Amino acid sequence: MTGTRQLPPTTTARTRTRAGAGLLLAGALLTGCGAEPGEIPLSEIRAETPPAAPTPTPAPEPAVAVSAAPDPALAAAASARHNGLIVGRIFLTADRTNSAVFTIAPDGSGAQQLTRPPAQTRDDHPDWSPDGTTVAFDRTGPESAGRIWTIGADGENPHQVGQLCETGAPDCTNEEEVTPAFSPDGKQIAFSRTWGSADPTANQTQYSDLYLMSPDGTNAQRLTFLTNDKPYSGLVTDPAWSPDGRQLVFSYQTSATGQPANSRALYIVNIDGTGLRRLTPWELRAGDRASWSPDGTQIVFTTYPAGADNTPGGGIYTVRPDGTAIGALTPGPSDVFYGAATYSPDGTSIAFTQAPANGSAELYTMKSDGSNVAPLTNSPDYWESRPNWGTAVGTPRG
C-alpha cells in the first residue's frame, strides 16, 4: 500500500492546515475587546452558558472493557499525571483559509490564542510536548508548503523546525512536512512527509510516508515505506505515539487508485519500522489522528462516512492495540459530524470535536466510557477542532 497527499489543499475541517507561530493574546481579548486582524475575541469561544449538549444514547456497539491488566508502570504514571490545557485549531475566517492554534482549560476557561498566522495562512495539527511546555504544529501559506513549527506554551519563541531538503533537491517537488507528534520522552517528533510529482487526475502527490526527527529538526529518518511500489495511491498521516514510545498508530487514506479505493484505516508500526499492520477494518473508515490511552490499553479514534469532508454519520470509537474489542462511544449513525478525539493525560476523559449537520464545530469533553458529554466551547461563528490534551507543567511525564 502507499500513501500520497491530496492536491490542492482544501479548506475543510479535516484537511491539513498549517499556520505560523504567534503570541498569547492580551487579557483584553479574553473580554471580547480589542481583537486585531487575524485574531478573535476568545471570550466568544468559552461555553459560558453551556448549550444543550447532545447526550449519547447507548451505543450500538458498547466499548468492551479490557480484561487484561494494563502495564503497571504505565498505569502508575497515568495516575500521577495532572491534566493540563487543551490545545486546538480554530478557523479565523468563514472561508477557512486562515486558522490559528489556541489553548483552553478543561473547564472551558482561560482561552488563549497561541499563534498569529498571516492572512491566508493556516496553523493546524497542534501537539503538546510531554512536559506541557511546547506545542508543535504545522503551517501552510498561500505560497508555501506545509512546514513544522514549535512554540512555547507562553507564546514565546515560535520557529520552524525541519525541512528535509534544500530547494531543487531531486525528491523535493511538492514536498511538505505536517502532522507532528512528540514522543513520550520528548526526544523525537514523528510527522508525515509527502513529495514527488502530482497527478491532477487522482488529486494526489506521488509519495507519502512517516518520518522521525529530533525536536530541533535534525536527525530526520524515514520510518515507513508504504509508497515505494504504489505511488499516487493514498495519504499516510497523523501519527500518534504509544505511551511506552515503542509504536505509532497512524491514518492511511487511499486514493481512487488505491486498494481499496477511496477508503480509510488505522495502521500501527514499531518505531524501528517493523511490525506494520492494519488496526481497523476498511469498512469502518477510521481516520484523522487517533489517541492512545495513557495506560496503553485502548486507542480512541474517529470514523468518517463516505462522501465529502465533514459529512455527518461517523462516530468516536475505541479499539485495543491488537485490533480487538472495537466499540462505539457515541451514537450512530446520526446527523452529527465527529472529529479527532484525544485522551486526557490521566486517562479519565476524552476531548473531541462535534458539529451538527451544516453547523459549526465545537470542542466537547466526555468520560472515557462515553458518558457525561459536556461542551467545552460555544462559538457558532467559528470552527474549533483537532484537540490535543496536554500534561500540567511540573507533573511527571511517565
Cell numbers at residue 315, please?
462516530
Are the C-beta atoms of 212 and 188 separated by less than 8 Å?
A: yes
- Give 4-30 pLDDT, tens digit per residue: 333 223 333 333 333 333 223 333 233
Q: Are 103 and 137 in contact (CB under 8 A)?
A: no
pLDDT at res. 72: 72
Count CA atoms closer than 13 A to 54's CA, side-chain side.
19
Pick the more confident residue, 3 or 297. Answer: 297
pLDDT at position 289 is: 94
Nearest to 29 by CA among 46, 12, 43: 43
pLDDT score, position 137: 98
Mean pLDDT for the stretch of residues 204-218: 93
- pLDDT, position 199: 84
Tell me the mean pLDDT in the region 55-61: 37
Of the given ranges (57-66, 106-115, 225-234, 381-390), which has the lowest mean pLDDT? 57-66
The predicted pLDDT at position 35 comes to 42
Instruction: Over range 253-264, report the average pLDDT.
Output: 90
pLDDT tens track for 312-338: 788 999 999 999 999 999 987 678 999
Question: Could you give the CA distance from residue 216 to residue 79 in angstroms, rounded to a whole number?
Answer: 30
pLDDT more than 70, % of the chain? 76
pTM comes to 0.83
The answer to whether 203 touches 7, Cβ cutoff 8 Å, is: yes
Residue 398 has pLDDT above 50, yes or no: no
Q: What is the mean pLDDT of residues 290-318?
A: 89
CA 49, 379, 104, 59 torsion-angle sign: positive
Provide CB contacts within 8 A for 222, sequence distance 6+. Answer: 193, 209, 210, 211
C-alpha cell at 69: 491488566
Q: What is the mean pLDDT of residues 257-262?
A: 89
> Model confidence at 31, in pLDDT bands (50, 70, 90)?
very low
Q: Which helix (H) or strand (E) holds 77?
A: helix 72-80
* Residue range 119-147: mean pLDDT, rounded: 95
Mean pLDDT, all residues of the chain: 82
* Extended beta strands in 187-246, E state: 189-199, 204-213, 221-222, 234-241
Is the pLDDT assigned to residue 2 strictly greater than 60?
no
Domains in the chain, CATH or no CATH each: 27-48+60-391 (2.120.10.30)
Give the position of cell 481583537.
Answer: 35
- The confidence band for 390, taking pLDDT boundaries of 50, 70 and 90, is very high
Digit-coded pLDDT (tens) for 183-200: 999 999 999 999 999 887
Nearest to 86 by CA among 355, 367, 343, 398: 343
Report pLDDT for 44.
58
- Residue 221 near residue 213 (C-beta atoms within 8 A): yes
What number is the average pLDDT over the span 199-207? Answer: 81
Query: 33-47, 54-68, 322-336 — which is least confidently predicted?
Result: 54-68
pLDDT score of 345 more than 90? yes
